Structure 1
């Protein structure tokens, strides 16, 4: 595997038009991600304002809503390599529709409680897991290699819009109209995602010999752990998600009780994360043209570290604007990381195992989310929310050091797939 390549992020892929099949995937992705963000924003708000939850409760709720990433990513990754990726996403998103409708029914009948909210949040998250595993695996079969970065940028821009509007909309709906409408809106968006996937034609793939499930998992794991570029990318993402979800686990009660924010203001600060993602996604082509590929990969973790320090500053100066700036930075920089790291993974991973590799990375990185949420719940219960914010900042320091010291940071362009990997 070469550390440099003639391929460049500033190539014509930035301007190349993308196939209609990919356009359907991008719009479906926008609907699915929006549904996820509305429900994720609504859950802790409902827990705090309607169910009198404390920081420990919201931490456990966050853990439940992210647990499917740890439990289901690898099995769904093997599915994605064996069967239709479109069908996998369709079935999982349909499950999310049913879960959101169940929450709506429980709200309308005044039967909702914290355990039910957590269980249905866990079920709904299967749609997100399927998208995270299958969509990056589907991209290489829908667009040419030179358009990978452009396609990933489009998917991340759609996700950025969802992250921008979803939390703010969820907060407004819960604060003004009630939780039921937030979950009803999420169900409608998920149903739209299913409808768009139904019209997507997935290209046929070459048949590959079926082997034992554990052998296929082993191959994908070995490929990632032995690769000098993918391993540091994996570790960086793990520590980023660990720190982010320590923060996410306690942020809503912290914002309400320490920063003095109401539901709408909390939604706005959370929505700043998505606004930052949109700004980062729009700036990505310009940044990619001006920076070497490895330098591009450093931007996101560095912004994450700065964001965590800004949030720690609210312990001294409680401020809506500092919280807003922190979430904006958490979105603006790391979106460049997502585009770059996904492009790198697609470029150097053989097609026959891209689903498993994507699943392993999802398992490790998103699996850090429930761990971070549980850690946030434990730290807030044993000590205080202040300790949680400092612990989150420490995790962001670690992820920044890992990527800066890795060979990935020295890449000039997008590397080619090695002969051994083919």
Structure 2
């Protein structure tokens, strides 16, 4: 599970048939990239926990290294990507990820692989992922145009959730069959194939703004000021950040609890986490009707309020039939998360001025995704001083309480989220 990616921005000028063809290539690239990400999210911690026999805190360091780049460079990347053509950025990012991951099986075969190597590779992959994701968010509108965004977004959500459903089971099966280091090869190949698909996207090139560029710090501050000053986006970002922080705290140590404490086989762990992708995929079928029937405001509040507490079930897991509680927790939380993301990110797409969208997207990712490595490290510290189950309980409790940001905000009484707010003054003191 993870927080899902959506797009918004300007249109391209290709014909309708070209757009459809290019969209299929982009969808395939997205499927390959997301599969690589999902497999890696499970294979890397399992590699540390099983093959390298790492401590809980070392496992948390490996997981944190995968996303700490969002915290370190997430804000300036939003500005940099707005100043570049997105397609070349995505291609280079995919190739960098593939090259970095190729080092893991190579070092393992030389009997030289250590936890520090995993952290370094994960960090490089995370840096490239920041560039890919921010560019990806702004590239889709150039491919399909504004009139095709809703349909394209729905297809992309389905692709993401399908990868989330298949990825963990695939990773667990590969780890069980050929060991964790060789499972990394799957992600390596996925990223290389994604780069090839993006490179085959045709049509006219993107137009890059040629007006004088503002200072980097001023551009970054504009995005932050817009988000923090927005009556709807502010509680949404607070909720997303809290939910990501706490969920990451429990999720990372849930892997340790299952793999080390309960000695659950890797393939079983993969199948348990597949339930999250299945829940998300099921939600994509009904999310449109849910949002239309109850309104996007209510969908945002109810999805978190009802789904987030279900993560508490993971704390009750044990051997035998009690393992099913992990699957139940993953299924319910992922389903609610899809509805939450579709409603709140679609609102962001239509409400944020186009010239601020890249920076606002980067700001949101900075807070939400930047909280992930901090949560993982805190979970590792709790597990180190207490045990993995305590970290899972603490993370689940915090995830359940994240809904308070919405329940004590104006969103509680909104059936439909309000019309776009005017952009802030570009002059930043």
TM-score normalized with structure 2 length = 0.88
1:4-403 matched pairs, under 5 angstroms: 19-145=20-146, 147-200=148-201, 201=203, 202-314=205-317, 319-403=322-406
2:410 maps to 1:404: no
Would you say how many aligned residue pairs link Structure 1 and Structure 2? 407
Q: Would you say the 8 A contact 1:298–1:400 is kept in 2?
A: yes
Q: Would you say the 8 A contact 2:44–2:184 is kept in 1?
A: no
Structure 2 Cα separation of the partners of residues 99 and 163 of structure 1: 22
Deviates more, 1:406-415 or 1:335-344: 406-415
Q: Would you say the 8 A contact 1:347–1:415 is kept in 2?
A: no
Q: Would you say the 8 A contact 1:78–1:217 is kept in 2?
A: yes
Structure 2 unpaired stretches of 5+: 1-15
Change (3 A) 1:120 1:303: farther
Q: Would you say the 8 A contact 1:240–1:301 is kept in 2?
A: no
Structure 1 unpaired stretches of 5+: 1-15
The Cα of 1:61 is off from its aligned counterpart by 1.3
- SS for the counterpart of 1:268 is helix
Q: Would you say the 8 A contact 2:42–2:168 is kept in 1?
A: yes
The Cα of 1:318 is off from its aligned counterpart by 7.5
Q: Would you say the 8 A contact 1:25–1:196 is kept in 2?
A: yes
Change (3 A) 1:239 1:43: same
The Cα of 1:138 is off from its aligned counterpart by 2.4
Change (3 A) 1:127 1:274: farther
Structure 1 Cα separation of the partners of residues 210 and 409 of structure 2: 36
Q: Would you say the 8 A contact 1:89–1:131 is kept in 2?
A: yes
Q: Would you say the 8 A contact 1:348–1:421 is kept in 2?
A: no
Structure 2 Cα separation of the partners of residues 187 and 378 of structure 1: 30
- SS for the counterpart of 1:83 is coil
Q: Would you say the 8 A contact 1:311–1:323 is kept in 2?
A: yes
TM-score normalized with structure 1 length = 0.90
Change (3 A) 1:31 1:144: same
Q: Would you say the 8 A contact 2:312–2:397 is kept in 1?
A: no
The Cα of 1:417 is off from its aligned counterpart by 2.7
Which whole-Å deviations, capped at 9, do the CAs of 1:303-355 have from their partners, x for residues lacking one? Answer: 44232221123379981100111111221110112222221111111111211
Structure 2 Cα separation of the partners of residues 183 and 258 of structure 1: 24
RMSD: 2.3
Q: Would you say the 8 A contact 1:24–1:196 is kept in 2?
A: yes
Q: Would you say the 8 A contact 1:54–1:253 is kept in 2?
A: no
Q: Would you say the 8 A contact 2:246–2:375 is kept in 1?
A: yes
Structure 1 Cα separation of the partners of residues 219 and 98 of structure 2: 31
The Cα of 1:126 is off from its aligned counterpart by 2.8
Deviates more, 1:35-44 or 1:412-421: 412-421
